[in-house]
Amino acid sequence: MITEDFAAYAARLRIGYSTSIPADQLQAMLESFMSGLAMDCLEAGTRLIGHIKCLVETGDEIIACSVTDHDARVRCRGKFEAPRSEVDLIVNVLQYGLRKKDLVRIVANCGKRSFVSHVSLSIEDLEIEEKQLIQLG
């Protein structure tokens, strides 16, 4: 179902902290990030969220979260089990109504806002062949 207003954006976020963050806090930040993406997309004019999904691989663990509904409810399979000082996640935003550049901005802003107290946050655009690394501090 590709329509003229369909746009997708996939990115890898690497978030670093100065100390280990408890698992429940990381989980809350991840879910806040996913829910925030949906709300920000809707606020910016998305007419239909197709699927916003992310994947965090932490050794043997896997956390896959997903938002499809316009109430921005997050469904997760798996959760953080141990404190971590780094989070590496892939996010894929598929929606109708906004352009890719809007999605790039929303993912960056929402990442900065949701993963509080981070010391580093980099975002790699996975949709382009020549990777651009955006360092956000």
Partner 1 sequence: MDMIIIAGFLGSGKTTLILNTVGQITERTGKKVAMIVNDFGNIGIDGKVMEKYGLKVQELPRGCICCTLGPSFLDTVRTIHDKFQPDLVIVEPSGIADPDAILATMGHYQGRPLGRISTVILLDAVRFPLLVQAMKIPMTKQLNSADMVLLTKSDEVDESRLRDMEAFVKGVIGDKPVIPVSSTNGHNLDVFVGRLVGA
Under the criterion CB under 8 A, does residue 48 sit at the interface with partner 1?
yes
Residue (77 or 113) nearer to partner 1, CB: 77
Q: Beta 84-96 vs 61-67: how paired, if at all?
A: unpaired
CA angle in degrees (0–180, nearest 5) for 51-121-116: 85
Query: Tell me, what amino acid is at 33?
Result: F
Find the binding residues for partner 1 in span 62-121 (CB under 8 A). 62, 64, 66, 68-70, 77, 90, 92, 94, 96
For residue 113, which phi and psi values (nearest 5 degrees)? -75, -35
Residue number with CB closer to partner 1 (51 or 99): 51
Q: 76 or 108, CB closer to partner 1?
A: 76
Under rule CB under 8 A, residue 2 binds partner 1: yes
Residue with tokens 């997309």: 41
CA-nearest of 33, 35, 46 to 114 is 33
Q: Which residues pair with 92 in a beta bridge?
A: 10, 53
Q: Which is nearer to partner 1, 131 or 137 (CB)?
A: 131
Task: Give the interface with partner 1 as residue ranges (CB under 8 A).
Answer: 1-3, 6, 8, 10, 12, 47-51, 53-55, 57, 62, 64, 66, 68-70, 77, 90, 92, 94, 96, 126-127
